[in-house]
Structure 1
Amino acid sequence: MKVIDFFSGCGGVSEGLRQAGFDITIGLDFDKKAAETYMANFPKAKFYNVDIRMLDEKELTQSFKKKNKKNDPLILVACAPCQPFSSQNKAKSEDDIRRTLLDETHRFIKELKPDYIFIENVPGLQKIDKNKEGPYKRFTNFLNSENYKFIEVIAKSEEYGVPQRRKRFVLLASKVGQLDIPAKTHGEGLEPIKTVRDFIGQFPSIRAGEIHPDDLWHRCPTLNERNLERIKATPEGGDRRDWPEHLINECHKTHSGHMDVYGRMSWDKPAPTLTTRCYSYSNGRFGHPDTNQHRAISVREASRLQTFPQDFIFKGSVVEASRQIGNAVPCEMAKQFGLAIQQHYIDIKKTKK
């Protein structure tokens, strides 16, 4: 099964689908550093480092046909930027041009006629324009007009083998028959939920500001003297509620929310949702769980908590790599959804014989 990955970022979905046995054929993203990362990890795929609005659908279709001589089935992935729809983005606006990027996929779907479509975004995308003609409603109306059957699910990453609590909205569409929601793989009565320890417990100890010589991405920023004091006062799984009074920010003394900032992770629980600032101790519960390591998690540890392989190549600075990691779809979740799609296609073919 071939894959075209629009808004690919650094390649979280592509990596998961590759692990499920798919052929990663074409990627597209506007971000230059994410594009460099993608091309380094998927050298056989053709990559378009362009704004999708500037790409001709017939040009891409011709490029795809050259790579698909056996007429293999196609899955089109379109994980458009989530910031215009995120509840965390207090500055979001209906004028944000990223809101219409999903509309751009219509012309490619019409031209390519993919067998399957994979859409991922923040929970709430499907509700934003519930009572008006917004991008998501236009997209589902378009799918209906093109005779796609689709399902929608709020997927919890930890229920698909990811050591991280991360809710995402997923739409899966099929031209070949009705899909079911992919079965959960972890949780009650299934495999145990994966934990932080399972994925980063084996990493060698480093200090804040240090780069490990065996892996240049096993690195994290320095901490100023006050934040070093704070993390030293924070137990595993703890946060600012564990600090002495003099270490607490004035703005936090009268504010009971946002307890994750300046927090440490817990070894034997999933990580919290990793954001684009997952390298920063002060921006979430991104402190290392080992109370002998007074630092934020390293870039490599963050990538492992998103289930990227340990040898995955990243391009750019710490800030740029962390943004790519925080924006990615966890590879393991994409893999499980890919395996479900693969099985669906096999079952459909059997019934048609």
Structure 2
Amino acid sequence: MLAGVDKEARCKRTYVENNTNLRGDRRPPEFLQRDIFAKSEAYPAGEQEELARELAALIGKAQERFPGVPLLFAICAPCQPFTTLSSRKKMSGGRIEKRGRDSNLLRAALTFVEKHRPDFVLSENVAGIQDERFGGIWGDFRERLNQLGFVTGSETVCVSKFGVAQRRKRSILLAASRDRVRKDRLTGDLVASELIVPQKDENAGPLTVQEAIEHLPRLKAGDNDPSVANHRTRSLTDINIKRISSAKPGETNRYLDATKYGDLSLDCHRRVNAKLKTRGFNDVYTRMRPDGPSPTITTRCHSISNGRFGHYDTTQNRGISLREAAALQSFPDGYVFYPVEMIEPVARMIGNAVPPRLAQFFATYLIESVEA
């Protein structure tokens, strides 16, 4: 791993300390805290020129030292612009502008693809990015890669098919140099072909929530275990302790209407349900099933009021810990997220991450897709 690019300074320590190269020079990667967009009068914060110089120097030195080692660009844009259609009336002007820039990050990244012509490109995002209501960004990105001499493939996959204990549908785009790709990895002839994108890892069986996290020490809400990095939980109010203690694994939150403590349903939910004449918010204040994959791990995975993030063990009345969320994303227990004493920034990194097993599978698949 040569370098990572991100604007968020808090990601630096986590990235650098966990990703030391196991081959080559065995050095940690560089962290380039840069804004990928071009600087302009309308957007003076852009640092594309500075980033271009830094990347050119790093890539040039690496190619001199390790000739013949393939170059892979993993390009993952922020997913928020493609998750829901936020009401522009409720967003500030600055937030609208940021969402607009984020949605164009893939196009900005093409500047570096065109300059350095990597052997492979891997991109991952939410399934919704392929929807035309988002301006055809995914399709445009793929078409431009085709024009630059890559053969590409795109599919929507579920990470539970790749040895990850989580239901998480993602868009995957793969690109490999057209003049080197193996014919058995293509659909059709070389001129009008697509790169085959596997729908599952044939060597990875299904993994359940219990299998992924049962080895971790027991905790109470608000506690942490110093012997396991990031095994930290969010505290709960008394009423939320009553709610989660009344929940059964895998069931909806209908139990809230009639617990042993009385009706614990939320007033705001009752009002919305009455207005819509249907029951919504069925997954909040509920527990995961132990015998299947977890729901999608989000940046709010530590909060039982934001989804089915209650621990499956009914003797542990709490939401899942950050370490458990990381395990459900397929991070090994030794992967430490910083700052270890905080919850919100770590949960954001975990929820926004590409599951490592998924990334490793497709990176390996790309490398094996070209002639030696």
TM-score, scaled to structure 2: 0.81
* RCO comparison, higher one (Cα < 8 Å, 6+): 1
Does the CA contact (< 8 Å) of 1:237 and 1:265 recur in 2?
A: yes
Separation in 2 of the partners of 1:113 and 1:343?
18
Match of 1:52 among 24, 36, 56: 36
Structure 1 segment 1-353 matched on structure 2, within 5 A: 24-43=1-20, 44-53=28-37, 54-56=47-49, 57-69=52-64, 70-87=67-84, 89=86, 96-128=100-132, 134-175=136-177, 176-177=180-181, 178=186, 179-182=195-198, 184-185=200-201, 192-243=205-256, 244=258, 246-253=263-270, 254=273, 255-316=278-339, 317-345=342-370, 348-349=371-372
Does the CA contact (< 8 Å) of 2:5 and 2:31 recur in 1?
A: yes
Separation in 2 of the partners of 1:161 and 1:90?
36
Would you say how many aligned residue pairs link Structure 1 and Structure 2?
319
Alignment CA distance shift 1:162-1:90 (3 Å): farther
Alignment CA distance shift 1:191-1:100 (3 Å): closer
Larger Rg: 2
Alignment CA distance shift 1:59-1:33 (3 Å): closer
Separation in 1 of the partners of 2:204 and 2:30?
37
Does the CA contact (< 8 Å) of 1:207 and 1:294 recur in 2?
A: yes
2:55 aligned partner, one-letter code: L
In structure 2, stretches of 5+ residues that fail to align are 21-27, 38-46, 187-194
Separation in 2 of the partners of 1:89 and 1:200?
34
> Structure 1 residue 68: deviation in Å?
2.4
2:200 partner SS: coil
> Structure 1 residue 89: deviation in Å?
4.9
Does the CA contact (< 8 Å) of 2:157 and 2:199 recur in 1?
A: no
1:335 partner SS: helix
Structure 1, 107-116 or 121-130: larger mean CA deviation:
121-130
2:31 aligned partner, one-letter code: F
2:115 aligned partner, one-letter code: E
Alignment CA distance shift 1:40-1:96 (3 Å): same
1:55 aligned partner, one-letter code: Q
Separation in 1 of the partners of 2:302 and 2:204?
29
Residue deviations 1:276-295, cap 9 Å, x none? 00011111100000000000
Alpha-carbon RMSD across the aligned residues, in angstroms, is 2.0
Separation in 1 of the partners of 2:120 and 2:204?
28
> Structure 1 residue 40: deviation in Å?
1.8
Does the CA contact (< 8 Å) of 2:218 and 2:316 recur in 1?
A: yes
Does the CA contact (< 8 Å) of 2:229 and 2:336 recur in 1?
A: no
Separation in 1 of the partners of 2:224 and 2:19?
26
Does the CA contact (< 8 Å) of 2:298 and 2:352 recur in 1?
A: yes
Match of 1:4 in 2: none
1:290 aligned partner, one-letter code: D
Alignment CA distance shift 1:249-1:222 (3 Å): same
1:223 aligned partner, one-letter code: L
Separation in 2 of the partners of 1:275 and 1:35?
20
1:238 partner SS: coil
Does the CA contact (< 8 Å) of 1:263 and 1:287 recur in 2?
A: yes
Does the CA contact (< 8 Å) of 2:229 and 2:334 recur in 1?
A: no
Separation in 1 of the partners of 2:225 and 2:85?
33
Separation in 2 of the partners of 1:310 and 1:266?
21
Match of 2:43 in 1: none
Residue deviations 1:148-168, cap 9 Å, x none? 110001011001110000000
Identity %: 35
> Structure 1 residue 101: deviation in Å?
1.2
1:247 partner SS: coil
2:156 partner SS: strand
Separation in 2 of the partners of 1:235 and 1:88?
33
1:152 partner SS: strand
Structure 1, 205-214 or 119-128: larger mean CA deviation:
119-128
1:47 aligned partner, one-letter code: F
Separation in 2 of the partners of 1:192 and 1:88?
35
Alignment CA distance shift 1:219-1:98 (3 Å): same
1:319 aligned partner, one-letter code: E
Does the CA contact (< 8 Å) of 1:217 and 1:298 recur in 2?
A: yes
TM-score, scaled to structure 1: 0.85
1:139 partner SS: helix
Does the CA contact (< 8 Å) of 1:280 and 1:286 recur in 2?
A: yes
> Structure 1 residue 174: deviation in Å?
1.0
Alignment CA distance shift 1:64-1:71 (3 Å): same
2:154 partner SS: strand
Separation in 1 of the partners of 2:353 and 2:18?
14
2:196 partner SS: coil
